[in-house]
Amino acid sequence: MAGGGDTESETQVNAANGTGGGTVRIHNPRRLPDFLQSVNLKYVKLGYHYLISNLLTLCLVPLMIVILIEASQTEPEEIKQLWLHLQYNLVSVIICSAFLVFGSTVYIMTRPGPVYLVDFSCYRPPDRLRVQFHRFMEHSRLTGDFDESSLEFQRKILERSGLGEETYAPEAMHFLPPRPSMAAARQEAEEVMFGALDNLFANTSIKPKDIGILVVNCSLFNPTPSLSAMIVNKYKLRGNIISFNLGGMGCSAGVIAVDLAKDLLQVHRNTYAVVVSTENITQNWYFGNKKSMLIPNCLFRVGGAAVLLSNKAKDRRRAKYRLVHVVRTHRGADDKAFRCVYQEQDDAGKTGVSLSKDLMAIAGGALKTNITTLGPLVLPISEQLLFFATLLLKKLFNKNVKPYIPDFKLAFDHFCIHAGGRAVIDELEKNLQLRPIHVEASRMTLHRFGNTSSSSIWYELAYTEAKGRMRRGNRVWQIAFGSGFKCNSAVWEALRNVKPSHNGPWEDCIDRYPVKVVS
């Protein structure tokens, strides 16, 4: 076709294969050098990463060869003289050995003990609590609390949210009119927490009396007695149990709860810790017309998780993961960050959680601070050198030099990004240069269960296990954002090829995923 552009131009290359010619069609030959250059750069970077990562080995091998050659040429008489010399300096050798043994003992005794994740369980609500989009909108309309503008706003949020048609709302919200009450909120909390714990105890065969530490986090519902006391009462936990109830700490509180449990396990030896992460929606549904406070209605759904941690050496054999790092970032000193997720009353006196339009920018700043701390702990030396070299160039020579974004795919095999919303996942996928497979667990969790707050990272980990992708030695990065404003990370290492636990949240639907999420 005459006058065709780049997309229509075509070059044929005859490739001889020894017995005959083959025809390879290369579309758009003008872009061929760019393609080859990108391929070359990719392999250059891989080569650089391999070289730096194995630099010590590459240097030691020639050194060992030289030592072996020299040793093979050493006369027996010289070896005898060396042995006599050591005998004459026996006192020095004994003193050095004693210091070495003493130092090793002190190091072993004072270093933090390993914390193992034996198993975890995510709550799967009953089918009667499912809320489809059309039912959500019809229900919102019939309550009479929302004007037409608010109803249209909620419809648009739902369509763009990334949520599917199978998420769950609390039972009180299924009535007309809705029936939010303290009793209904307690019922929601009990069903979620006890459902997750019952399954955890069944899968691990752990007796409730064996639990020495209990940490519960729920941001918006903090009754008296506390949620942790409700669990102690239900399972008749022992009287000397160390229990904590964390409130008001937002969606990243699950990582905070794990960090607290980890610190307690360093002090209290040979015991188990249970972490329960959940959120309660019943009394926190917003019935007003302020747009920034309507968003949580569209995103937050029922969910919770229970996690069993251990510091017992014998549990390493059956544990799924070992806790490697926890890094916490708090931006609460900044007024803008402090108020970007804020529970308040609107002009009509109706209570809800307001989300600021600056939320994504603030989350990005918190993430930057968090990964600046996490990077040196997890990234290979090759990535750290590139990062600091770029930073140095920017400081000394050119302020316009773009900062180097480390390749966290070299440090982690799986990513569990808090399913706070579609925009959160999109932003991290772009900023961390991740591929669709890396954010699949987050997108599918958002689609299937919605934003379950602090427990979402556990639904994502369960998804990865259900897909059979977790292999021994794999590293997992759980990252969550929360009010305050906080960004918290937890790094886990798989101790074996992990299979999904019985009665997992994805057991009845994993074959249908991943699904295509409509833009």
Where in the sequence numbering do the catalytic residues fall? 251, 330, 414, 418, 447, 451
CA 288 – CA 294 distance, rounded (Å):
8
Helix axes 291-299, 148-160, angle to 10 degrees: 50
What b/e readout covers 387-399, taking b as 16+ CB neighbours within 10 angstroms? beebeeeeeeeee
Residues in the chain: 519
Contacts of 9 (CB under 8 A, 6+ apart): 27, 28, 29, 30
At 197 the three-state DSSP class reads helix
By the 8 A CB rule, do 327 and 370 touch?
Answer: yes
Q: How far is CA 55 from CA 222, 266, 380, in A?
A: 54, 35, 12
Kindly state the tokens that stand for 401. 């030099």
Task: Please enumerate in sequence order all residues whose Cβ is within 8 A of that of 215, keeping only pairs 6 or more positions apart, or say none.
Answer: 228, 243, 244, 246, 257, 260, 261, 264, 273, 274, 275, 276
Residue 168 CA to residue 157 CA, distance in Å, equals: 17
Q: How far apart are CA 342 and CA 340, in angstroms?
A: 6
Instruction: Give the other-Cβ count within 10 Å of 369's Cβ.
Output: 15
The dihedral through the CA atoms of 121, 127, 133, 138 has a sign that is: negative
The Cα 464–Cα 458 span in angstroms is: 10
d(CA 488, CA 371): 10
List beta partners, residue 16: 21
Q: Which of 71, 54, 295, 52 is nearest to 163 (CA)?
A: 295
Question: In which region does residue 80 sit, left (phi positive, over 0), alpha (psi from -120 to 50) or beta (all else)?
Answer: alpha
- DSSP H stretches of helix in 285-358: 291-299, 335-339
Cis before residue 300, ω within 30 degrees of 0? no
For residue 486, the 8-state DSSP code is E
CA dist., res. 327 & res. 82, Å (int)? 51
Residue 388 per-residue DSSP state: H
